[in-house]
Chains A and B, each alone.
Chain A
Amino acid sequence: MLENFSFRTIVEYLPLFGQGLVTTVWLSALSFVGALVVGIVLCAMNLQRGWLFRAPAKAYIDAVRATPLLAQLYFLYFGLPRVGFVLPELVVGILALSLNSGAYIAEIIRAGILSIPRGQVEASVASGMTYAQRMRLVVLPQAFKVTIPPLLGQAIVLVKDSALLSLISVAELTRAGQLLASDRFMPAEGFLTIAAFYLLLYYGLKGLAVVSSRWLGSAGARA
């Protein structure tokens, strides 16, 4: 197979891969922002005492974690038009990734908040802080630090998951590989190239994780 591996075709298709890469990057970025919003809202609901907010949040998180992303994507892609929402594929894709990753992010943030020792919360209660002050001044600044590494891990998962959007014909990176594979019957060239690009994105995010942990490490206490 390698003797007829065509680098020329890859070079020829490079602009298409470039466009796919750019699309993957910005739609992943948008989805991640969306997922953060979804995650924060779900986590806030999940931390309430009463079950009125907690039960639906838990049910949602379980449902997302228990079902394949592909099923969720098709559920939105085919389901939304039937209830009257006809949205572009790209929007459906970003929505699906946000709603999916949001469930995982909710749990990451919750773990971060629960990692703050109870004694510190008691100390802030005892000093007369309100719930909001406690969160803002004591809990969240510390929870933020411990959530950065797992959040970047989730970002890496999200980038890889975005490949599924090729199935609803969003012109992202994997779609570019598919086009090369089917137009020229060169699946090896097509998918090897996109693998290389995904690796690039992976190292980019990993580098970010290293830099941020170094920055966070020097920006505060060690405990």
Chain B
Amino acid sequence: MTANPKGPANMTQPNPTKTGMIDFRGVNKWFGALNVLKDITLSVKPREVVVVCGPSGSGKSTLIRCINGLETIRDGDLVVDGQRVGDPATNMTQLRTEIGFVFQSFNLYPHKTALENVTLAPIHVRKIPRAEAEHAGRELLAKVGLADKVNAYPAQLSGGQQQRVAIARCLGMRPKIMLFDEPTSALDPEMISEVLDVMVAVAEEGMTMMVVTHEMGFARKVAQRVVFMDAGAIVESGTPDEFFSHPKTDRSRAFLSKILRH
């Protein structure tokens, strides 16, 4: 693991003083004239689970999409697993293999079975032999409770099942970091817990995670920290208990009263 927090200080990377697995330092991003990320400074330690919440349009998706370079930042530093994102010296394709990303809309490959969805990148990107990748893929699908859906196509699966395949697809790459962008927001209520259960299991195995979600139960159960964003800035950050029981700002109180009402 290159991300040992007490690692040697003489690393070849540009930021030898790093301590986090994900380090935002003074990050700014614009979409045209819109300052979507405002001077973000945030450090996520290895094995830490951070929940990001905030009103719609506050920049949560943009924040985590910067981590694997789906969005590019304008200024500031973003160092992930010891590598500076956006630096020409950083091999982004390689860095992305260490970062799983779970989308709100699953984004499975519809022309591939569940197992093929899980093994595609391991075989072609990680260059794992097919038999080995398939064996691991079956185990992962069993782990997310879909042993009987190995040969099903996405269109034959419910939303909750598709999202569990999507999580298995990320785990198949054996990533160091998992990012989740509102993984349960597109699901019918009765399917939310089956996905959250899988996420809890992943967290309990020590995965470094950043999760955009409003699921307080999940946050209380596994998150070490909740970060509240509003209008592109991190407004508040604390333990789940501090944040949900004793919000410090008017904006977080207003936000919490909204998500608690339903």
Contacts and interface: CB of A to CB of B under 8 A. Distances in A.
B93 A223 contact: no
Interface in B83-110: 93-94, 96-97, 99-101, 103, 105, 107-110
Given A119-B103, A128-B93, A221 B121 contact: no
A221 B110 contact: yes
B107 to A, nearest CB: 4
Interface in A125-146: 125-130, 133, 137-138, 141-142, 145
B164 to A, nearest CB: 15
Interface string A104-131: 0000000000000101101111111110
A128 B121 contact: yes
A127 B110 contact: no
Contact of B97 (A120, A127, A145): A127
B38 interface: no
A128 B94 contact: yes
Contacts of A127: 96-97, 120-121, 125, 169-170, 173
Nearest to A220: B111
Contact of A137 (B103, B110, B124): B124
A129 B103 contact: no
Contact of A142 (B103, B111, B153, B155): B111
B34 interface: no
Given A125-B96, A126-B101, A221-B154, A120 B173 contact: no
Interface residues of A, number: 22
A134 to B, nearest CB: 10
A127 B156 CA distance: 23
B70 interface: yes
B161 interface: no
A141 B105 contact: no
A120 to B, nearest CB: 5
A222 interface: yes
A138 B109 contact: yes
A123 B125 contact: no
A137 B103 CA distance: 20
A122 B103 CA distance: 9
Given A122-B70, A126-B96, 17 more contacts: A122-B107, A123-B108, A123-B109, A124-B121, A125-B96, A126-B68, A127-B121, A127-B125, A127-B173, A128-B94, A128-B125, A133-B124, A220-B111, A221-B112, A221-B153, A222-B155, A223-B155
Interface of B: 68, 70, 93-94, 96-97, 99-101, 103, 105, 107-112, 120-121, 124-125, 153-156, 166, 169-170, 173
